Amino acid sequence: MFTLRSVALAAVLLLTLAGCSRKATPVTIEGFEVRKDEARKFEMKVPKNWFVQQRRGDLILAVSTKAHSSRFLSFAKGKGGAKVEMRVIPMDSTTTIDSLVKRSKLEFEDNLDRYERTTATLGGKPGQKLSVKFDQEDGEFRSEAYFAENDSLITIVTFAAFGNTFSDYEKDFQEILASVKLPVRPVAVPTTPQGPAAPEPPSDTLRNYNAPDFTIQIPQNFNGTKGQSSGLSSMSFAGSRLDCTIQVDVFDAKDQKNLDKIIEQNKSKYGGGNPTATSLSGVKAYYFTYNPAANIQSRAYFMVKGDRMVRITMNWFKPEQAVYLPIFEKCLATFKLK
């Protein structure tokens, strides 16, 4: 997957000061299945009743439900959610375990480092473990990431759960961790996914999607599901890849209609970079560009019309930007707020 340029999770998280007594309802694990990669020969158990996605040569991802998947990219409000992820990244002169551990840390508004780094074993190899936990509105978020190297390939196995549910999965996570087999380098690994498991690219034929607050055209092979947001409405659109999505969130803006102030208030959440001025549905708008995960590029668009504020978030797999971004921008141009 990777010629790694940035693995930093650029989202800046706001911490809730309340205690961790809140708890979401965990999605039970109803047994396991082993997922294997034919290109680099790595494998791992995953919950057989969870939503699973696999990409040849670099990824196995299992999320408790498909609806929860976007929350791990945006850290938006929601109810629970857990994931198991295995990523494989080739080493080079700048990509080492130390650099990946450093870049995998979320940044916090108060600039404190809440992570604990210890030694660990992954797939029979000595490695590193990076742990963090912090409070959110639905309870504690907790994550453990394991890093190890074999055959000049770095493997990262991550377990994470929202809603104070990590402890419910702890025994299962340990069984999954024990099942990990590390990758080896083949003579050549296809840069484009092949075979029946390969994700389908977005269709360049668009279809209309009519929501209560807005209309938009999306790729014909994308589906719309209710997003996780505290606003008036939220819809997420995705095809066969979890990391290539369009999400539309509509919020009540009666108390704050000044777009410039809204942008300034949200700047820190998107890495602190300057926004780019644009227009959306014929109305003044801005967007932030940021990297929420390894090799994922994102844009968050903001506009205000009447008493409503709209945020449209687009995420795409950076090595396939030429495939996704033009179509996503084409979708964006069709957006109309009712």
- Give dist(CA 157, CA 87) in Å, integer: 7
pLDDT of residue 19: 44
Fold: same for 12-178 and 206-337: yes
Asked if residue 15 has pLDDT above 60, the reply is: no
DSSP H or E stretch at residue 176: helix 166-178
pLDDT of residue 172: 97
Tell me how crowded residue 111 is: count the other CB atoms within 10 A of its CB: 7
* Over residues 68-90, mean pLDDT: 87
- In the block, tokens 């969130």 appear at 249
pLDDT of residue 242: 78
Tell me the per-residue pLDDT of 178-197, one tens digit each, with 9 for 90 and over: 999 999 987 544 555 444 45
Asked if residue 107 has pLDDT above 90, the reply is: no
Asked if residue 88 has pLDDT above 50, the reply is: yes
pLDDT of residue 228: 67
Which is higher by pLDDT, 108 or 50? 50
Across 188-192, 211-215, 277-281, least confident range: 188-192
Q: What rounded mean pLDDT belongs to the chain?
A: 86
With bands split at pLDDT 50, 70 and 90, how would you rate the model's confidence at 269? confident
Asked if residue 229 has pLDDT above 80, the reply is: no
CATH 3.40.50.80 fits 206-337, yes or no: no
* DSSP sequence for 220-272: TT-EEEE---SSSEEEEEE-S-TTSEEEEEEEE-SS---HHHHHHHHGGGGTT
Fold category of 12-178 in CATH: Protein Transport Mog1p; Chain A (3.40.1000)
pLDDT of residue 195: 44
pLDDT of residue 1: 30
* Over residues 233-251, mean pLDDT: 89
Asked if residue 159 has pLDDT above 80, the reply is: yes
- Domain borders along the chain are 12-178, 206-337
pLDDT of residue 17: 39
Name the burial class of residue 12, with classes exposed (0-12), middle (13-18) and buried (19+) by CB atoms within 10 angstroms of its CB: buried
| Residue 253: C-alpha distances to residues 286, 317, 322 (Å) | 16, 32, 35
- β partners of residue 160: 83, 143
* Over residues 324-329, mean pLDDT: 93
Asked if residue 298 has pLDDT above 60, the reply is: yes
pLDDT of residue 104: 85
Closest CA to 156 of 166, 144, 168: 144
With bands split at pLDDT 50, 70 and 90, how would you rate the model's confidence at 294? confident
